[in-house]
Structure formats: structure tokens, C-alpha cells
Structure 1
């Protein structure tokens, strides 16, 4: 792993993917992902505007400075194409019961990358990094209809702990114990 001088975020590589710090130049590709109705149907349901995506990109970059962990841009190693985002955050969500001080893992991939194992590969790389760097238990929230993300979470050791309401939707809360 290499550390970026600007963000402190590491670079993590798998056979097919590179998890790296976000760059301002990611905005256009990130917007394509976050404005796609297929992608966001289980993540709030509303496509993001360019302004909202820019705010998300800034938030992802800022997490590393404030918390020492955050979100990665995921790119295809062979082509450099932007695949999506994966990371760990404290979004201070207003859910009950609260996640407390448990960091929250999350992932979103562009629709063109769905169904080919990229999500599981990216999450596996993220968790491999997190186990070594953080050594803490993690949580994630997933809409119950998002079967692909639930499979990824369970495959990587997240266990269902119940459901709760978040922003008008029911979400499954899953937790993964510390390594």
C-alpha cells in the first residue's frame, strides 16, 4: 500500500481493481454513477445532481483528514475506468438504534460493473485494509430489496441485526465483528 501525500488515504490493489483517493477529476465519472436511476434505486432512490455529487466527492475526501479513514474511488486497473466508490465512514446517521461509534462500510458501483464480482472484490479489498488499519467492528445499512449488496455484506462477515427506518425507508442493519 502507498499513501497519498495529499489525503493520507492508501492505495489498495486487487487483481482487477485499484482503490485510491478521490480526485477532483473524478467528478464527471462519479456523476455518471450517482445520477443513474439503476444505481441509486437502493441508495435513497433519487439521482444526484452534479452539485450533490460534488459535495459527496468533497465529503469522501474530507473523511480521511477528519477520521483517518474514508471512501476510496474504485477504478479498473486495466483501463483506469471509474467503477464506483467503496469505503468506511461515520455519517452520524439519525437512526434508532444508533450505530454509535461503529464505523459504517458502504459501496456503490456503476451499473455497467454489476453482476461480475467487482463489488465483492472491492469490498473484500476494503475490509482487508480496514482489518489491518482499524481493527474495529463495522456496520452497514442496506435496503432489504438490495439482494446483491446483502449477499456481498454477508459473504464478508456482516450479520443481520435487525431493521430500522432511515429517511423514510426501511433498512437492514448488519454488523461485522472486529477481526
Structure 2
């Protein structure tokens, strides 16, 4: 499997997770603003630790996964972005289709960081899989994330329930955004 790369943009660095990222990640995932559209329940320390291990496992087993996003100049924690295959029990099946996701520190919302980080991750994905589509799942009321997805080339594919909640599945053709 390829080594996880470090990606850079004008303002951000996307790096592999390390145990030193745990406290920043925990602070973000336990924030009610962050999880409002992702289950609505703050994550525990145990759940965040399992998430970090899952990120590492994606890279080890599949050759892709998530990055920590930091401001390039200050090193300040911005959030997390990446691609995953969660084997979701959803119809139609997304098995084998990389799913992009992102979460950002609420104090840094509205600065364009999500779009910048997602575009960096997708640039990497397009280079790896020039002919492979990616998807994302977003709650219909999560207008900021829907805006990010559309700016990055995602278009609504369908609406379907996932774990009892309405969900929009968006798809992006390779190299489009």
C-alpha cells in the first residue's frame, strides 16, 4: 500500500494522523456544532480514539483514508478530511466507491477551508484513480456542507434514508471540480 502523503495548499497542510492529534480531534468531535448533522451526539474519548485508529486502518488496508488539516503558517488544527469505504448498509450500495468526508473546527467555519481541503484530497484521489467516481453523504439540512460538495463538483444522485435519517447521496465524476 502507498505511504500516506502530505498534501499542501496555499493555506493548509494535510498530514497523516498521529497520536498527538487526539486532543484536537476529540475537542472537535465532542463539539455540538460539529456533530449537529452527524448523529447529534458528541463523541466520547473512546469513540474519537477508535476513529483515529480507523483512519490509520484505512491507509494500511485500502491505500487511502483521512488527513489532519492544519493552517500552514500557524499549525492551528482546522479539522479532518479524507476518503473512506465504510461498508455502509445503505441502498443502493456504495461498496467499493470512495466516500469523501470532512469536519472542521467551528471557530474556523466560513473561511473556505473546507472547500480548499476537500479539493486537495480530491486532487490526490483523481491522480490515484483517474476513472473512479467518489460520493459523499450529507444531511439535507446541512446547507454549508452541501455548498462545499457542489463547489467541488458533487451533484445529487439520490435521497435515501440512512440509519433512520434522510440523507442525500452526491456523486462526483473523476476530475470534475
State the Cα distance separating 1:178 from its structure 2 match.
Answer: 2.1
Match of 1:70 among 61, 65, 69: 65
Match of 1:127 among 122, 128, 131: 122
Match of 1:157 among 130, 153, 158: 153
Q: Deviations over 1:26-71 (max 9, x none)?
A: 0000000000000110111110000000000110111001000000
State the Cα distance separating 1:10 from its structure 2 match.
Answer: 0.3
Equivalent pair of 2:81/2:118 in contact (CA under 8 Å)? yes
Secondary structure of the 1:10 match is: coil
Equivalent pair of 2:85/2:95 in contact (CA under 8 Å)? no
2 CA distance for matches of 1:42 and 1:78? 30
Partner of residue 139, structure 2: 143
State the Cα distance separating 1:78 from its structure 2 match.
Answer: 1.1
1 CA distance for matches of 2:121 and 2:171? 15
Partner of residue 104, structure 1: 99
Partner of residue 74, structure 2: 79
Match of 1:30 among 25, 31, 39: 25
Runs of 4+ in 1 over 4 A off after TM superposition: none
1 CA distance for matches of 2:159 and 2:30? 27
1 CA distance for matches of 2:129 and 2:37? 28
Partner of residue 117, structure 1: 112
1 CA distance for matches of 2:83 and 2:107? 23
TM-score (norm 2): 0.95
1 CA distance for matches of 2:53 and 2:95? 24
- Supply the RMSD in Å over aligned alpha carbons: 1.0
Equivalent pair of 2:16/2:66 in contact (CA under 8 Å)? yes
Partner of residue 166, structure 1: 162
Match of 1:13 among 8, 22, 31: 8
State the Cα distance separating 1:8 from its structure 2 match.
Answer: 1.3
